[in-house]
A and B are shown apart, each in its own frame.
Chain A
Amino acid sequence: MMNNMIMHPGILLILCGVIIPLLGDNLKKFITFIVPAICFIIILQLPHGMHLNYEYMSYNLIFLRVDELSKIFALVFIIMIIFSSIFSLNQKNKIEISTAFIYGGSAISAVLSGDFISLFIFWEIMAISSTLIIWMGSKNAYKSGLRYLTVHLFGGVILLIGIIGYMSLKESADFTLIDKTNIYAYFILIGVLINAGAPPFSGWISDSYPSASWSGTVFLSAFTTKTAVYFLIRGYPGTELLIYIGIFMIFYGIVYAILENDMRRILSYSIINQVGFMITGIGIGTEIALNGAASHAFAHIIYKALLLMSAGSVFYITGKTKCTDLGGLYKTMPITMVCGIIGALSISAFPFTSGFITKSMISQSAVYENYTIIWFLLLAASAGVFLHAGIKFPWFVFFQKDAKLKAKDPPKNMQFAMISLSIICILIGIFPNVLYQMLPYDVNYIPYTFDHVFFQLQLLLFSGLAFFLMLKYLKRTLTLTLEFDWFWRKFSKILIKDFDIHAEKTATNVINKYIKIFDKAIKTLYKHHGPSGILGRTWPTGNMAFWTTVILASYLIIYLL
């Protein structure tokens, strides 16, 4: 039943984001600390069930649907906001934190929504607020932000078409397991997959996230793709197509990250790769697979934030993001290095880190469902993750050659945020049950067996060996790698240019033709009405008297007849 006494944590955060710019510096810092903490407590204590229901045009809007699945996502979102706000306290741009609150708040609200209408509203607020965060970044941010917004508005329109069709078909706005026997379900799926960074729309992640400021990227990494993952877990579990999309994303992320030079772009590609693991799990769709996808999203948000904080600290201190400019920072930024390595080990699913206990559930589900090839591909991908994110990121940023950069560890608050997240990564790795208890289904899975740990260690360490033996082939170059967005960033330009040339020719021809006709008309008019034209001449009075007499005479004759 209705229980309007419950505070909505997401909306509280959005409202805070709106008022923050109006506040003085000290009050602002206080609110940045206290409100996410309050929201954290509210989320922890949310009672299961549907709350804050409203009737709207015969549809039932549910602003708070609390169950294990929505709660675990809301919880990790708020943890992310707490530590990222602490990390970003030194950000000179005062508006960024306010938009970040609106962005994070709407992500929390979206995962807590129980119906399509309110979910869609928060979905779109996310798109707009995240664009604003991108725009507060570097000089190139304006253009990539615009591309980001275009992709998301496009995805939003497709989602809206699907939602409207689906709602009118089912005569209800309730968002539960989606019935895939109608076309609208696929519109919704495409709209959501665009937000998840699935091909051919994966380019927006690596294009826009690295354009944001050193703190903005941290906020951006968590919400958009993981809200999409949440949507898929709830709406599309067991859709086989998702397995193949997921596998594609996994390898796409690895290959592009191997070729990439900019450290924040490497990490952006690894977001696509990690979301690929989750989507594969959703495609497999059994209880253990969905548990794996949800827990992997939880672990991923935390270690990805940690990795991007470590990269953000390097950017904040040195002002550089390209691997070709970086290196040798282990001496000057030891704390950032250690935290970065913990994040890198977690993403690689090293034993005793958070990735190990979550990703293995997805692989195990492939075993249970007899997806042999998928299992081997996931295994190859685990090796590949260690290669592109686990070693490549720390090696090129903190070791390799000494770039002789003047650097020191970042301010205390940034260190605090990184160290806290590192501790969370390790704690989850050592005490998996803390996370397992929060999952949507009961877990009968034991990650720590001798053979599993040894298996993983062999796999990862020999991947490391491959990395160091082939180091000369991995040398960084000042390049970027084309991807699908080439079609709208370059090809469309060529197309328009070509079209321009032809259009100009055609237009000139057509215009010339009409100008000729017009000219002719003017000339004819001039001929008859001009100074020497027959109709333009001044005629003698006698002439007129003559013609008047003729007319009068003919009139008289006709009358007499």
Chain B
Amino acid sequence: MLSKISKKTIWIVFISLLIITVSGDFFIHRHSNFTIDGYFGFPALFGFLCCVFLIIFSKIIGLFLKRPDNYYDE
């Protein structure tokens, strides 16, 4: 298990990375293909929401289709 302190540092580094990449949008004019994808922070929000949706969607599929490990064994 990662120790508590190193876990905290990793989160701090990770969150600062997130902030840096989003604040990049202030300095770089991202060229857009379909208008909406040029908006400030679009990829960040889109990526985040897609993943949340995919996890929830998978969970729902899993409710119906998950079986114990030895389902196929006789």
Chain A residues in the interface with B (C-beta under 8 A): 254-255, 258-259, 261, 328, 367, 372, 375-376, 379-380, 383-384, 387, 399, 401-402, 450-451, 454-468, 470, 473-474, 477-483, 489-490
Contact = CB atoms under 8 A, between A and B. Distances in A.
18 contacts: A254-B58, A255-B61, A259-B62, A379-B43, A379-B46, A383-B50, A383-B51, A454-B24, A454-B30, A455-B30, A458-B47, A459-B47, A461-B44, A462-B45, A462-B47, A463-B48, A470-B51, A478-B69
Given A383-B50, A451-B28, 20 more contacts: A254-B54, A254-B58, A258-B58, A259-B66, A372-B34, A379-B37, A380-B50, A451-B29, A451-B31, A458-B21, A459-B47, A461-B18, A462-B18, A462-B43, A462-B51, A463-B47, A466-B51, A470-B52, A480-B72, A481-B65
Contacts of A466: 47-48, 51-52, 55
B67 A401 contact: no
Interface range, B side: 35 or more
Given A258-B55, A454-B24, A473-B59, A482 B47 contact: no
Given A372-B34, A375-B33, A454-B21, A464 B14 contact: yes
A231 to B, nearest CB: 30
Q: Do most interface residues of chain B lie in helix, strand or loop, or is the interface mixed?
A: helix
Interface string B1-39: 110000000000010011001101100111101100100
A365 to B, nearest CB: 12
Contacts of A456: 43
Contacts of B18: 461-462, 465
Nearest to B10: A468
Nearest to B45: A462
A255 B58 contact: yes
B51 A387 contact: yes
A240 to B, nearest CB: 20
A467 B68 CA distance: 24
Nearest to B59: A473
A469 to B, nearest CB: 8
Nearest to A482: B65
Contacts of B33: 367, 375
A479 B67 contact: yes
Contacts of B2: 399
Given A461-B21, A462-B43, A482-B65, A258 B54 contact: yes
A462 B48 CA distance: 5
Contact of A459 (B46, B54, B62, B72): B46
